[in-house]
C-alpha cells in the first residue's frame, strides 16, 4: 500500500475543499434554512403529524439525505473531473498508486466533506425544529454508507463526463427528481396506487426511509431492507469503479 500517496491525494482534496469551505457550507446551510422556513414553519404548521412526528421534524432526515446525495456527487465528480479537464491527472496516472488507492484518496475526501456538510445541515435544522435521534449508531451508519456510495457514484460521473454539461446532467436530471420523489417531504404511504408501488423502484426511498428510522423509529420500508439496499448500492458502485479502472475507461488512451 502506498499510504503516502493516499494521504497526498486525500489532503490535496481536503485542502481544495477547505479553500472553498465557506461556499461549500453556505449553500447547504442556506437551502436547508429555506426549506425549513417554507416547509417546516410556513406550510408545516398547517400540516398534521406524520407517523406521530411533527412535519418540521419529519422532513429533517430527508433534507439531510438530499444534501448528502448532492454534495457527495458534486464533490466527487468535480474532484476527478477537474484534473482530467486541466490535465494534471497525468501525475496521478504516472504515480505508483493503485486504482484502489486513487479511489481511497478521492472518494474518501469527497465522502468526508459531504459527511461534514450533512452534520452541519443537521445542526442548522436544530435552529428551527426540535428533533431526536433514537438510534445514533445507525444514523451514522447510514450517513457514512450513503456518503461513500454516492461519492463513488460521483467519481464515476466525473470520469465519464467529458464536459461541464455532462457533469451536471445526471445530478440534475436523475438524482434531484429521485430525491424529491423519494419521500423526503412525505411518507410514501400517503401516495395513492400505483405510485406507491412504483416508488419502491426508487433507490432513494430506501436511504431516506432507513435514515428516518434512525431518527424517529418510523419507516416506510423495513430497516433491514433499507440497510440491504444501501449495501447493494455500495457494492454496485464499487463494481462500477473497479470496472472503470480495469478497462482504463476514459482515463487512459
Q: By the criterion CB under 8 A, which residues form the site for other proteins?
A: 2, 4-5, 7-9, 11-12, 15-16, 19, 86-88, 90-98, 248, 252-253
Distance CA 52, CA 218 (A): 9
Distance CA 236, CA 209 (A): 20
| Least distance between other proteins and beta carbon 73 (Å) | 22
| Least distance between other proteins and beta carbon 52 (Å) | 50
DSSP string, 127-141: HH-----S-HHHHHH
Cα-Cα-Cα-Cα torsion 21, 26, 27, 33, nearest 10 degrees, comes to 150
- Residue 95 grid cell: 504515480
If the CB atoms of residues 94 and 194 are measured against other proteins, the closer one turns out to be 94
Provide, for the chain, the percentages of residues in helix, strand and coil under a 3-state DSSP scheme, each rounded to the nearest 5.
80, 0, 20
If the CB atoms of residues 3 and 137 are measured against other proteins, the closer one turns out to be 3
If the CB atoms of residues 186 and 245 are measured against other proteins, the closer one turns out to be 245
Count of beta carbons in the 10 Å neighbourhood of residue 229 = 18
- Residue 157 grid cell: 460521473
| Least distance between other proteins and beta carbon 253 (Å) | 6
If the CB atoms of residues 101 and 220 are measured against other proteins, the closer one turns out to be 101
If the CB atoms of residues 38 and 93 are measured against other proteins, the closer one turns out to be 93
Contact 182, 205 (CB under 8 A): yes
Count of beta carbons in the 10 Å neighbourhood of residue 183 = 28
| Least distance between other proteins and beta carbon 252 (Å) | 5
| Least distance between other proteins and beta carbon 184 (Å) | 35
Count of beta carbons in the 10 Å neighbourhood of residue 248 = 11
Question: Measured over all CA atoms, what is the biggest interatomic distance in the chain, rounded to whole angstroms?
Answer: 60
If the CB atoms of residues 95 and 133 are measured against other proteins, the closer one turns out to be 95
| Least distance between other proteins and beta carbon 3 (Å) | 8
Amino acid at each position: 500500500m502506498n499510504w503516502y500517496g493516499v494521504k497526498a491525494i486525500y489532503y490535496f482534496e481536503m485542502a481544495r475543499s477547505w479553500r472553498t469551505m465557506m461556499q461549500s457550507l453556505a449553500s447547504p446551510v442556506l437551502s436547508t434554512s429555506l426549506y425549513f422556513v417554507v416547509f417546516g414553519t410556513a406550510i408545516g404548521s398547517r400540516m398534521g403529524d406524520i407517523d406521530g412526528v411533527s412535519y418540521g421534524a419529519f422532513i429533517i432526515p430527508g433534507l439531510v439525505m438530499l444534501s448528502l446525495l448532492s454534495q457527495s456527487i458534486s464533490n466527487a465528480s468535480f474532484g476527478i473531473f477537474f484534473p482530467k479537464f486541466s490535465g494534471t491527472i497525468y501525475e496521478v496516472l504516472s504515480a505508483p498508486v493503485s486504482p484502489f488507492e486513487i479511489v481511497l484518496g478521492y472518494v474518501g475526501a469527497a465522502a468526508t466533506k459531504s459527511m461534514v456538510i450533512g452534520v452541519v445541515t443537521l445542526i442548522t435544522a436544530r435552529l428551527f425544529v426540535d428533533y431526536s435521534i433514537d438510534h445514533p449508531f445507525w444514523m451514522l451508519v447510514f450517513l457514512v454508507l450513503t456518503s461513500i456510495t454516492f461519492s463513488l457514484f460521483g467519481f464515476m460521473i466525473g470520469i465519464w463526463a467529458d464536459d461541464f454539461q455532462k457533469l451536471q446532467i445526471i445530478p440534475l436530471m436523475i438524482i434531484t427528481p429521485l430525491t424529491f420523489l423519494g419521500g423526503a417531504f412525505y411518507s410514501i404511504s400517503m401516495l395513492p396506487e400505483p405510485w406507491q408501488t412504483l416508488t419502491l423502484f426508487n433507490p432513494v426511498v430506501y436511504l431516506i426511509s432507513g435514515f428516518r428510522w434512525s431518527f424517529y423509529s418510523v419507516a416506510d420500508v423495513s430497516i433491514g431492507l433499507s440497510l440491504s439496499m444501501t449495501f447493494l448500492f455500495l457494492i454496485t458502485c464499487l463494481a462500477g469503479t473497479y470496472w472503470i479502472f480495469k478497462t482504463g475507461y476514459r482515463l487512459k488512451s
